[in-house]
Amino acid sequence: MIYLKHTLDWFQFPSLVIDLFSFIVLFLIGLVSLKYYKLNKNKKSLYLSISFSFIALSFLFKLLTNVAMFYDDLINPQIGIQTLQIIREYNIFSNLTFTIFAFFNLIGLYLLYKLYQGKQTSSNIFLMSYFILISTYFSNSNYYIFHLTSLIFLISISAFYWKKYSENLFINTKLLALSFSIISASQIYFIFTTFGKLFYLAGEIIQLGGYALLLLIITHIQKNGKKKI
Amino acid sequence: MERKRSRTDIIHDIMMSIQNKNGRIKPTHLMYKANLSYNQMNSYLEELLEKEFIEKTIEKKSNYLLMTDKGFNFTQKIREMKDFGKTFGL
């Protein structure tokens, strides 16, 4: 699955920038969480850091897939110039990086989901692992299965944050729940990527909104720490 | 029922009690403000003094605890960490 082939030409470069931005935000949350783990030794902070790091890493592989395609199109705009061998090699590369993207993304989301579900039985973990492997396996041929699985995880995580907000009434938790709900909504658009070029564009812009909100939360927390003096 | 305070919570309460008194507090006042027993307070103070987050001083024959710049920065970090934990439901 190469997303850039399913979007408008002018949006190819902005799409790369959006993915880079998403990677930076996710990596930052992973880093901040790790910093707090070193301070309080709370294992949940460590698990949160690992979850966000996996998702960040997945975006790095998505970027790799799309950057390779983007530059390939710039250098060789006419497909006729390329040899069949180059195309084949490129397809193997993009399929591999996309598969790794899907796998890391689902692993990260599952770890995040698991963090809030408490202790799980081994049969439950086995079942989830099976779903992740199946979704990853079909991510290239039937990419919507991957997005559907992501959507299910994201809805569960969002629901937890909304529940948490109803308990603590903390504005940052509300923003967090909202950002995960927005990211969940973006998955719905990604599911229909091959139905029209605007779907991927809409999905990316909605996703950007979700990650921008996540960045806002982190800056809000850092700012608040300094303010209450 | 209120949950038991963690070690980080207690350190946060101690540092906030000092900060709320403009960075200078008497040990007896701290004991009440941070809701600690005498022994508990001494064990935490020992650690905070060792890490140079606070320092002892004597003014008009009374003992005072002063918050250092290092302690001030540490308090900020703890506050950020607590906000982060509360946000993410940790």
Nearest to A170 among B19, B76, B87 (CB): B87
| pLDDT at residue B86 greater than cutoff 60 | yes
Q: Which residues of chain A lie closer than 8 angstroms to B6, CB-CB?
A: 40
pLDDT at A214: 96
Note the maximum CA span of chain A. 66
Q: Is A169 within 8 Å of chain B by CB? A: no
CA A151 and chain centroid, separation: 11
Check CB contact of A114 with chain B, cutoff 8 Å.
no
Task: Record the pTM.
Answer: 0.86
Residues A206, A200: Cα–Cα separation, whole Å: 10
Q: Which two tokens mark B86?
A: 């509360």
CA proximity to A98, closest of A131, A142, A155, A157: A142
Residue B71 CB contacts under 8 Å (≥ 6 apart), including other chains: B15, B18, B48, B52, B53, B54
CA angle centred on A44, ends A218 and A113, rounded to 5°: 85
Please report, in tens digits, the pLDDT of each residue of chain A (229 residues total).
556 667 778 888 899 999 999 999 999 999 999 999 998 888 999 999 999 999 999 999 999 888 877 766 655 555 555 555 666 666 777 788 889 999 999 999 999 999 998 788 889 889 989 999 998 888 878 888 999 999 999 999 999 999 999 999 999 999 999 999 999 999 999 999 888 888 999 999 999 999 999 999 999 998 887 765 5
Q: Tokens 């509360």, residue?
A: B86
d(CA A79, CA A88) in angstroms, rounded, equals: 12
Q: Check residues B67 and A5 and name the one with the higher pLDDT.
A: B67
Q: Are A47 and A115 in contact (CB under 8 A)?
A: yes
Please judge whether A48 and B89 are an interchain contact, meaning their C-beta atoms are less than 8 angstroms apart.
no
The structure tokens listed for B1 are 């029922």
The predicted pLDDT at position A56 comes to 97
**pLDDT for res A50:** 97
pLDDT of residue A73: 61
Residues of B in contact with A157 (CB under 8 A): none
Give the residue from A36, A217, A229 with the most B CB atoms within 10 Å of its CB, the best one to mutate.
Answer: A36
A164 shares contact with chain B (CB less than 8 Å): yes
User: Is residue B1 predicted with pLDDT exceeding 80?
Assistant: no
> How much is the pLDDT for A114?
93
Q: Residue A5: what pLDDT? A: 67
What is the sign of the dihedral through the CA atoms of A224, A228, B4 and B8? positive
pLDDT digits (tens, 9 = 90+) for B16-49: 999 888 888 999 999 999 888 989 899 999 999 9
Q: Which residues of A touch B78 (CB under 8 A)?
A: 39
Enumerate the residues of chain A whose CB falls inside 8 A of the CB of residue B79: 224-225, 228
A78 exposure class (CB count in 10 Å sphere: 0-12, 13-18, 19+): exposed
Question: Using an 8 Å Cβ cutoff, are A7 and A201 in contact?
Answer: yes
